[in-house]
Structure 1
């Protein structure tokens, strides 16, 4: 079965890479995670694992559950790079449970920052379907565990910034042209006034590599789930429109330069023998933009975004059968790219 990120297909004029909906919930029978003793946490996690063995997941076959302590450290770090786990969850010393679907579009973390962190991810843009599925799962789980809920404030969570709906809606966009414009920093700053956050997926500001930007709601209190989705989608569409204008102009005025940039980036990725993470992301961004804009195509169908994840250090190491010297990670990355990149053909 393909992973969800292997199904990302960029189309002309549509620069949406992925979307995600995440819910934070707590079981009213127990203290919040940071106040639980280890024996209480173990009991709670086991009770939850037992109760959730029959999740209504017709579209998510082969969901496995485990304790994070049963997963090797390098694989936990690789899951963080693939956005299955957060850094704060990796740092937890208390028992943590994980349900993960085979395609990794569904993840359910037990006793992380909150008792329940339910997450659905998907390629490109399909937020309504994600919400329908996660809402159904949420209702099922609430029948198993009575949630900590206040009639005035809504769902109670460990962090005040999640109180209310407990929901985060995210859209990741590929915005290489906007990122190069002088007005982009001011644009990012202004978005905060409208109730959204935007950050570089791989660094911020001038240190952003790969030109991927994560857009999410800033508020969870006093707004409905539908209002959150509408706001994030509307903002994403506005950014997408601005990016499209710049790309259209660049192709009309500098098609040869744009095409040359794409094939230079491809040549580096395909033939270099040592590739840093910054070089990989910067050049993958150029290749992805060229394919999306119809300047080139790959001989075999391929998700360039999957390569963004594949070149991350822990994912490279986790894929190896033998121990890896971290000093040779740039060589390993170059080998991976030469192996995975198909022939690029000019259109």
Structure 2
């Protein structure tokens, strides 16, 4: 096939050039990590230090001296995978600095790359029945807190804590979704200006684009009854229909959907924000998880396994959910800031349905 090397083709190549450095470091394609960032976790190369300890600013300098920075928790399920790495490799029992603080002109929490930290569920934990951060004027830096299952908490920046560093050279380029979209719209399908070579190039560039639904965007329009575009899904939050988990499962399926699947941190975040911003708090909600399966594990209605632990599941009486042998169905629990909890399947709750 002949390749058209005219202006549209060259323009597209020029627009894609800034993405070339990330081909070896795309968020979900890290294959080899180099010292000292030898742990491949959630698409990042990280170092969990069990020897160096200091204030947030000292540990910020420590990571930067190594060619990295304190960990940023802003990609799909990175919080989950980092906590699993700590649990599986003997790194529990310590608190860890991450790269967020609120010592900025706007008073809000930011990561070291300048992006804003997502607040609330499922990232920030609970202390004394209040959701973090809660340190007021004295605590301005963020940790993963060992006593709260490694949810994020705020802490005084001068406290001595161990750091989690990430390798900066393996961070994807900082481009917005709109910039990424503009780079792709130049692709002209007419007049043979989209040859196989260009398709191949675009295929390899895809992992370099944002790997998560980091904005609350749905492609196309949401059709009734699933009219709320939330976290990349079209959903229905019912405030009128109420029943057991199985009755609400049938209710959603009758509408052409199913009970909500929460398989990324961002979906959980945006659903909770939707409940808070639209007057849907004050109720518990069934979601599409239960453990009444042959393997005894929690599954979603599409058959995929539910991720267990932080940051999805909340805590009750000092123990992380799920925690009761007689409770087999998953809900978003109003009494725990809409973290996931298990509950008796025959109890009557409202459903959150999603379009299939």
TM-score norm. by structure 2 comes to 0.28
Whose Rg is larger?
2
Higher helix share: 1
Higher strand share: 2
TM-score norm. by structure 1 comes to 0.29
